[in-house]
Amino acid sequence: MTASTTRAAIVERAPIQDHDGASGARLERARLVDGSQMILKRFDPAQDLTMAFSPPGQVREIALWQAGVLDRLPPGIGHPIVGAWREDGYWIMAMRDLSGRILGWGSRISRSQCRRIIRAAVAMHAHFRDEHVEQLLPLEDRLAAFSPRVMGALRDRGNPLPDLSIRGWERFAEIAPQEVTELVFAIHDQPATLARPLVQRSGSTLLHGDLWLPNIALEADGIVVIDWALATRGPPIIEFASFLAGCAAQVHATREMILEDIRDITGAHHDEEAMRVGLVSGIVEMGWNMAMHLTEHGGKAARETFDWWVSAARRALDAGLIS
């Protein structure tokens, strides 16, 4: 079905109020003439934070789909996009309705299910290894995406995330050891200091860039992943560090178990030194959130999480590869 026939087949649209997305994008559920349903996503640069990471007038995930990149994903990982068009000056993207299968912030998954996600990501990374994909976000921009500098420029869009993250980084600076704070903020200011040594060691591949549970649907033969707005070119450890920083608490396994599964599934392509250094990207991305949880809610779990990532940052410093 082409974009024009998809659009023509829609007979009813209704906004979706409750969803786990934090970017500010608007979602609708559409009913087609044959009774089937799909999800429509409207991209408004004034509200959707991820639009700031796409070239002006473009939407990264639509560009990836139109270029055929997402249709070349290997078996075990897929995307839900079925069409895209311009409407009232905005891009609209139509997707298969994955309601009931998308994992959310309240989801808890088994270690086996987590391994399925890792296996799918590893297959994608291997498939696109060293291939230049034009539409991807530069790694340096992805590493700095949640920095105070970038978030500060995204204020006043009606989205609370920028102000929340900036406040979180202020608290991070108050409670993290000085050497860790200096490392994280230095990478925010000059992300190439982390990107360069990692790419030299591990090369680059297609990364989803936001591989968190609210963007993943589990299916019998693999996973389907939504929200490719931050799709990036970089070493695989960046993908997994982000997953650990955002979703480890939702997995019935320790972080060490998840890392062991990454080593096992990656196999001959695994680089232990790259993992040691690359894990720092998790606290570079989500240190603000870890600090907010610890200072506002406290508790043993929040303290253990914060300390684990501080230790990971110290190991990256000890490796001496961040220049």
On whether the CB atoms of residues 84 and 3 are closer than 8 A, the answer is: yes
Residues 151 and 82 in one domain: no
Whether residues 25 and 116 share a domain: the answer is no
pLDDT at position 323 is: 65
Q: Are residues 150 and 81 in the same domain?
A: no
Are 145 and 291 found together in one domain? yes
Task: Please check whether residue 101 lies inside any domain of the structure.
Answer: no
Shared domain check, 59 and 20: yes
Q: Which of 26, 16, 91, 99 is nearest to 61 (CA)?
A: 91
pLDDT of residue 75: 96
Strand order of the β-sheet with 26-32 is 10-15, 26-32, 37-43, 90-96, 81-87
| CATH number, residue 137 | 3.90.1200.10
The SS3 of residue 109 is: strand
Answer whether residue 103 is part of any domain: no
Name the domain count of the chain: 2
How confident is the model over 269-315, as pLDDT tens digits? 999 999 999 999 999 999 999 999 999 988 999 999 999 999 999 99
Domain end among 96, 128, 161: 96
Task: From 64, 96, 128, give the residue that closes a domain.
Answer: 96
Task: Tell me the CA end-to-end span of the chain in Å, nearest whole number.
Answer: 50
Do both 123 and 91 map to the same domain?
A: no
Mean pLDDT of 158-163: 89
Same domain (yes/no): 134, 228: yes
- Give the predicted TM-score (pTM) of the model: 0.94
105 part of a folded domain: no
Residue 69 structural domain: 3-96
Q: pLDDT tens, 197-255? A: 999 999 999 999 999 999 999 998 899 999 999 999 999 999 999 999 999 999 999 99
Write down the pLDDT at residue 267. Answer: 96
Give the CATH number of the domain where residue 66 resides: 3.30.200.20
Helices (H), 203-279: 236-247, 255-266, 272-278
Q: Measure the CA–CA gap between 234 and 285, rounded to whole angstroms.
A: 15
Domain boundary among 32, 65, 96: 96
Q: Is 297 helix (H, G, I), strand (E, B) or coil?
A: coil
